Amino acid sequence: MEILIDFALLAFLGATALAVVRVRNLFAAVMLTGIYSFLSASLFTVMDAVDVAFTEAAVGAGFSTVLMLATLALVGSRVTEPQFRIIDVSVKVPPKRPVFPLFVVILTGAILVYGTLDMPAFGDPTNPIHQHVAPHYLEESGHEIGIPNVVTSVLASYRGYDTMGETTVVFTAAVGVMILLSAMRRRDRFGEEAWGDERVETLDIGFVDAFGSEMEGQGEGEDTGREGGAG
Amino acid sequence: MELAAAILSGALLLGGSFFALVGGIGILRMPDLFTRLHAAGITDTMGAGLILAGLMVHAGVSLVTVKLLMILGFLWFSSPVSTHALARATLAGGQEPFWAEDLEIPETARIPGRPSGESGRKGEE
Amino acid sequence: MLTVTSIAILLTMLMALIRALLGPTVYDRVLAVNMFGTKTVLIIAVLGFLAGRPDFLDLAILYALINFIGTLAVLKFFEYGDLGRRLDSKGDA
Amino acid sequence: MSDQVILRVATKLAVPAVLLFALYVQFHGDFGPGGGFQAGVILAAGMVLYAMVFGLRRAQEVFPTAVARFLAALGVLIYAGVGLVSVFLGGDFLDYAVLAQDPEHGQHLGILLVELGVMVTVQGVMLTIFYFYAARGREDL
Residue range C40-80, pLDDT digits in tens = 999 988 888 888 877 788 888 988 888 888 888 888 877 77
Query: pLDDT over 70 for what percent of chain A?
Result: 69
Banded model confidence at residue A78, pLDDT cuts 50, 70, 90? low
- Which chain D residue's Cα is nearest to A176? D129
Predicted TM-score (pTM) of the model is 0.80
Which residues in chain A have their CB less than 8 angstroms from residue D133's CB?
Answer: 67, 70-71, 74, 177, 181
State the burial class of residue A134 (Cβ atoms within 10 Å of its Cβ: 0-12, 13-18, 19+).
middle
**The pLDDT value given to residue C23:** 74
Asked if the peptide bond before residue A135 counts as cis, ω within 30 degrees of 0, the response is: no
Q: How far is C38 from chain B (nearest CA, A)?
A: 7
User: Does the structure show a pLDDT above 80 at C91?
Assistant: no
In this structure, what are the phi and psi dihedrals at residue A187, rounded to the nearest 5 degrees?
-105, 155
Give the model confidence (pLDDT) of C6-47 as tens digits: 999 999 999 999 998 887 888 888 899 889 999 999 998 888
Q: How many degrees, rounded to 5, is the angle at CA D71 between CA D68 and CA D73?
A: 115
Check if the beta carbon of residue B44 is closer than 8 Å to that of residue C38. Answer: yes
**C-alpha distances in Å from residue B7, one per residue of B34, B55, B64:** 37, 12, 20
Percent of chain B with pLDDT over 70: 78
Give the pLDDT of residue C85.
59
- pLDDT range class, residue A215, cuts 50, 70, 90: very low
Q: b/e string for D63-82 if b means 16 or more Cβ within 10 A?
A: bbbeebbebbbbbbebbbeb
What was the pLDDT predicted at B21?
92
**D10, B78: Cβ pair inside 8 Å?**
yes
Of D32, D42, D138, the CB nearest to C66: D42
Q: ipTM surpassing 0.90, yes or no?
A: no
* CB within 8 Å: D114 and A163: yes
Residue of A124 and C43 predicted with greater confidence: C43
Q: How high is the pLDDT of residue C92? A: 36
C44 touches chain B (CB under 8 A): no
- Nearest-CA neighbor of D94 among A199, C55, A165, A56? A165
Backbone angles phi, psi at B99, to 5 degrees: -145, 140
Contacts of C93 in chain B (CB under 8 A): 92
pLDDT by residue, tens only, chain D of 141 residues:
346 788 888 888 899 999 999 999 888 877 878 788 899 999 999 998 888 888 888 888 888 888 998 999 999 999 999 889 888 888 888 788 887 788 888 888 888 888 999 999 999 999 998 888 887 655 443
